[in-house]
């Protein structure tokens, strides 16, 4: 991927420095904070304890959660799809579906897989789908949030446009909170890695109380969200 170019940055920063009456710094030093409470949250929690916190967070949001294993995944996934009324289904072109053995199973359910070569046709398929199925990259115990490192094969339309979003995630991908995810991203940048073009964090069904504090579900995305949590092998 070609890195972006920032136009006029030096001129813009120099103008601000002049107005503040000081020289433009050549580099920015990261502050050394005395206290870092963000790292203390669930610091000593085991993976089972993080899972319990995650489940409680999901319960508050109204997110459905099913624990499963590779042996029972197809059955549990089929039951969840049925509970939401069935397809049409759209899914990301994620190689992890193949690695856990459900790619063919989803194909048998007449699932449309995101196809980069077909351009806007993918968007139309996502609009018409009842259920979108995607794979989360990390999850936050504190807020019941799933994190998606999106790319062209794992478009956000899959988890946003259908009225139901089913998300698969590994139990081991659950971390305490946003602090750990942002550090992972920061470390990748420091190592010179080109990170994904956008990162989505989704916490349960879409809702908004912007208008007179009246909660409305499904304003900007799915009205139902279900997580299938895979016990690690």
Token duo for residue 154: 């794992």
* Cα angle 152-155-157, degrees, rounded to a multiple of 5: 145
Mean pLDDT of 127-150: 93
On whether the CB atoms of residues 203 and 54 are closer than 8 A, the answer is: no
Residues 6 or more apart in contact with residue 193 via CB below 8 angstroms: none
Query: In this predicted structure, what is the pLDDT of residue 233?
Result: 59
Tens of pLDDT, residues 78-104: 999 999 998 899 999 999 999 998 999
């Amino acid at each position: 991927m070609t890195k972006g170019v920032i136009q006029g940055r030096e001129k813009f920063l120099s103008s601000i420095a002049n107005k503040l009456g000081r020289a433009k710094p050549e580099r920015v030093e990261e502050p050394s904070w005395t206290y870092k409470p963000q790292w203390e949250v669930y610091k000593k929690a085991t993976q089972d304890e993080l899972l319990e916190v995650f489940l409680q967070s999901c319960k508050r949001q109204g997110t459905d959660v099913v624990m499963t294993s590779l042996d029972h995944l197809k059955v549990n996934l089929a039951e969840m799809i049925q509970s939401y009324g069935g397809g049409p289904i759209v899914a990301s072109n994620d190689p992890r579906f193949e690695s856990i053995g459900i790619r063919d199973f989803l194909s048998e359910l007449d699932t449309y897989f995101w196809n980069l070569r077909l351009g806007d046709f993918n968007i139309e398929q996502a609009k018409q789908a009842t259920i979108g199925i995607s794979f989360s990259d990390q999850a936050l115990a504190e807020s019941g949030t799933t994190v998606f490192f999106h790319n062209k094969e794992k478009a956000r339309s899959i988890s946003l446009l259908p009225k139901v979003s089913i998300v698969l995630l590994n139990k081991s991908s659950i971390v305490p909170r946003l602090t750990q995810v942002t550090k992972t991203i920061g470390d990748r940048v420091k190592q010179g890695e080109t990170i994904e073009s956008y990162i989505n964090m989704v916490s349960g069904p879409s809702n908004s109380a912007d208008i007179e504090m009246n909660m409305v579900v499904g304003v900007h995305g799915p009205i139902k969200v279900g997580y299938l949590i895979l016990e690690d092998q």
